[in-house]
Amino acid sequence: MDEFARFELLIGKEKMQKLKQSTVLILGLGGVGSYATESLVRSGIGHFILVDFDVIDITNLNRQLMATQENIGEYKVDVWEKRIKEINPLARITKIQQKLLPQDIEPLFQTYTFQYVIDACDTVSTKCALIKACLNHHTTIISSMGTGNKMDPTQLEIIDIRKTSYDPLARVIRKMIKDMKTNQKVMVVCSKERPQKRNDPIIASNAFVPATAGLFCASYIVDRIVGEKNEH
């Protein structure tokens, strides 16, 4: 038996092979992206394209899966490359240590080949550009909305962006989709919980809301691969 034997018992050899042959791009390796990445690694995804420009900071310790006292100051893409290989030595990893701006998104599609995207980035303009590009290229994407200033992970759900409420980030995406006049669904992980109002400009966060959002993102991608579901 190999490291994925228990999951293979659940989904079968043919679907397990599909996971091993799939490429997932993950933009943002923070609270949401870290748990999404971990779950996909342990689900047998064969190729990861990891995009993050940042280093691990001491403030990441409360919510980012890979953060420890020992790796503070190391680049997240490097830490994740090592962690993925420790779990699955056969996994292929492409690292993009760069802060992507909207103008960098289209070249991403021209340079790399991937079928699935998890959007866990914090930059709104880049998030919008990535979603738009995925729609244009008919690439499956799940996008995480805001998880900061929230306490209840049970309020999270996977939902079409048009049905979201309360989330300020989702409001921006909804407007973009409306302006695009597209009928394509844009699936997101979003919370029905109203964010706490605070005077401090620093966004507060905990260990369990971003983690749950990341697990939801990973589950969505795995379902699309093994269940052959397609939102486009």
pLDDT tens figures, 57-66: 999 999 999 9
Which pLDDT does position 166 carry in this prediction?
85
At 133, give phi and psi (nearest 5°): -65, -40
pLDDT at position 178 over 60: yes
What is the CATH superfamily name and number for domain 23-226? NAD(P)-binding Rossmann-like Domain (3.40.50.720)
Angle between helix 31-41 and helix 209-226 axes, rounded to 10 deg: 40
Domain extent listing, the chain: 23-226
Q: What is the mean pLDDT of residues 142-155?
A: 97
Which pLDDT does position 232 carry in this prediction?
42
Reported pTM: 0.96
Which pLDDT does position 229 carry in this prediction?
56
Task: Report the range of poorest mean pLDDT among 34-48, 149-163, 218-232.
Answer: 218-232
Which pLDDT does position 24 carry in this prediction?
98
Q: What is the mean pLDDT of residues 56-76?
A: 98
Q: Which helix (H) or strand (E) holds 137?
A: helix 124-137
pLDDT at position 4 over 90: yes
Distance between CA atoms of residues 134 and 10, nearest Å: 30
Count CB neighbours of 46 within 10 A: 17
